[in-house]
Structure 1
Amino acid sequence: MQAFVGTGVALVTPFKKDFSVDTEALKRIVNYVTEGGVEYLVVLGTTAESATLSQDEKELVINTIVEANNGRLPLVLGVGGNNTLKVVEELKNRDFSNFQAILSVSPYYNKPTQEGIYQHFKMIAENSPIPVIVYNVPGRTASNMLPETVLRLANDFKNIIGIKEAAGDIVQAMKLIQHKPKDFLVISGDDMITLPMVLAGGAGVISVIGEGYPKEFSTMVRLGLERKVDEAYALHYELMDSIDMIFEQGNPGGVKEIFKSLQLSENTVRLPLVNVNESLANRLDAFTKQLLK
């Protein structure tokens, strides 16, 4: 499980101005973050705008990333949803030979009880041929996976190896870290509190800002894991304003503006998402140029 200690990045899906998938830009982004020092890549997560991709487009994204990665970094595939049987069907039918784990979000919209969440992930664990990282993001799912539920899953299913914890609650994260099984990974899903979580005993992060500024953010996480606190916090405070900015008007609109500044891709997003406004775009451009000069 050391493959998932450090910084993973949730890859965007770059689009051309006509809203088609830009495979050449995607290859550039894979190379950019890999050369920037991140430890692993997350494919078809929320940041990939996977909710607005057709099945054919999802396969195109997967194949493009696999080809561009060329075995350099571990890959995690987003496989989740609010229809448990549909998720299980995908787990049974997909070829996972290029992936080391799946990331599976807690069911959204249905608002299941904690027992319903447990039973959902029980079926996923029993049917997944590769390790599972569960994903708690109450701001998107309308339900919170409580520590008791996560710990129950962690203890009952050896192939549930970690959680991407994005409740934005450092106390909840600390409860998970306090009581987790020895090898279970508590991974931050909130860029702003990644360093405090790492210093509390977390395993790292699945990041958005780490995609825009991979060298700086992954260095911060490694310094935190090495307990070089002052050096890590110096980088945290250097990046702090940009973390606020990339989420100010929604994800991935913010990080796509960074990629536009870096001339890696267009800033195109698909409805119902829209581009950030001109003021925020200018602020992100100025920050990027100052940070990377």
Structure 2
Amino acid sequence: MKNPFLGTGIAIVTPFTTEGEVDFKALANIVEYNIKNGTNYIVISGTTGESVTITKQEKQDIIDAIIKTNNGRLPLVLGIGGNNTNAVIEEIKTTDLSNFAGILSVSPYYSKPTQEGIYQHFKAVSQASPVPIILYNVPGRTASNMLPETTIRLANDFKNIVAVKEAGNNVAQYLQLLKDKPEGFGVISGDDDLALPVALAGGDGVISVIGQAFPKPFSKMIALGREGDAKQAFKLHFKLMEITSLIFSENNPAGIKAVLQALNLCNDTVRLPLVVASDDLKIKIANFIKQFES
């Protein structure tokens, strides 16, 4: 199965009201803003969506709201992952995936499995999933690194494992994946700062955090990168470089929510244990937006 997830996907935030409830109006606005400005697909319930502090009912309500607003215009991907393999399988089996082009499933966190453990986990996920799977490797959050050999083994063994979202911020690991991957298997950047170099090296694009705030220039940059136009693509990369760094300087998604608040798309409320961006960071973000738009 060939990877259908190309270009710029966004890891969408979950906006909250100042009281801490899901803000469905703001959510619809962010979806609409991205559809109109060149985003290629939307990933729901990832880390950026604060998936770990969302209740089961809220997750379903968020899914329903995005499906309604999207109205079939962009492919949707749903985050279903964890470190309890049986629970992940149960969620896959009990979730209506008819509106989803695929699922994004994170490598098991906290438990620190061996490479064989990671392989067996995703083998079980593959056998349970009726839709294509994007593996998600993010060692900074999971405390274990899914090595390229394990990713490639899974890609070769299971047809519905179609891509990896690689977020180890490790250039050598990206290049190893691009060199060894089977035909049609996607290597998707999960690192906004490396998204362009990965695209230029033959990657399929990005699942981005900053892309949802600047969808037009960011998706244009990725498109140029995938076409091999490094000169024009790097002009956009350099324009976005400062803000890409700023949003991750404290925590994600407090940084991106501060940007979205400055753009009047939602407010900056996050759920504990996360806290909102500092005043210092907000000032830097406001200054960037001012000069970016001038």
Which residue number in structure 1 is paired with residue 45 of structure 2? 44
Which residue number in structure 1 is paired with residue 185 of structure 2? 184
Question: Aligned partners of 1:292 and 1:72: how far apart in 2?
Answer: 28
Question: Aligned partners of 1:164 and 1:112: how far apart in 2?
Answer: 19
Kept in 1, the 8 Å contact 2:3–2:163? The answer is no
CA offset digits 1:157-214 (Å, max 9, x no partner): 0000000000000110100000101100000000001111111110000000101111
Deviation at 1:266, TM superposition (A): 0.7
Q: Secondary structure at the match of 2:247?
A: helix
Which residue number in structure 2 is paired with residue 227 of structure 1? 228
CA offset digits 1:35-80 (Å, max 9, x no partner): 1101000000110001001111111111111111110100000000
Matches within 5 A, 1:246-285: 246-285=247-286
Kept in 2, the 8 Å contact 1:132–1:159? The answer is yes
Task: Give the structure-2-normalised TM-score.
Answer: 0.98
Deviation at 1:292, TM superposition (A): 2.9
Matches within 5 A, 1:1-293: 1=2, 3-293=4-294
Question: Aligned partners of 2:241 and 2:92: how far apart in 1?
Answer: 38
CA offset digits 1:224-267 (Å, max 9, x no partner): 01111100001001100111100000101111011111111111
Question: Aligned partners of 2:213 and 2:263: how far apart in 1?
Answer: 9
Deviation at 1:282, TM superposition (A): 1.1
CA offset digits 1:108-130 (Å, max 9, x no partner): 00000000000000000011000
Deviation at 1:103, TM superposition (A): 0.1
Kept in 1, the 8 Å contact 2:3–2:184? The answer is no
Kept in 2, the 8 Å contact 1:27–1:68? The answer is yes
Deviation at 1:2, TM superposition (A): 6.0
CA offset digits 1:112-161 (Å, max 9, x no partner): 00000000000000110000000000000000000000000000000000
In structure 2, give the amino acid aligned to 1:271: L
Deviation at 1:287, TM superposition (A): 1.1
Deviation at 1:289, TM superposition (A): 2.7
Q: Secondary structure at the match of 2:275?
A: coil
Kept in 2, the 8 Å contact 1:3–1:40? The answer is no
Kept in 2, the 8 Å contact 1:3–1:74? The answer is no
Q: Secondary structure at the match of 1:247?
A: coil
In structure 2, give the amino acid aligned to 1:114: Q
- Sequence identity percentage: 54
Q: Secondary structure at the match of 2:188?
A: strand
Q: Secondary structure at the match of 2:277?
A: coil
In structure 2, give the amino acid aligned to 1:149: T
CA offset digits 1:76-121 (Å, max 9, x no partner): 0000000000000111111101000000000000000000000000
Count residues in correspondence. Answer: 293
Unaligned runs of 5+ in 2: none
Q: Secondary structure at the match of 1:248?
A: coil
Unaligned runs of 5+ in 1: none
Q: Secondary structure at the match of 1:107?
A: coil
Task: Give the structure-1-normalised TM-score.
Answer: 0.99
In structure 2, give the amino acid aligned to 1:237: F
| More off after superposition, 102-111 vs 28-37 | 28-37
Question: Aligned partners of 1:3 and 1:184: how far apart in 2?
Answer: 9
Q: Secondary structure at the match of 1:4?
A: coil
Deviation at 1:3, TM superposition (A): 3.8
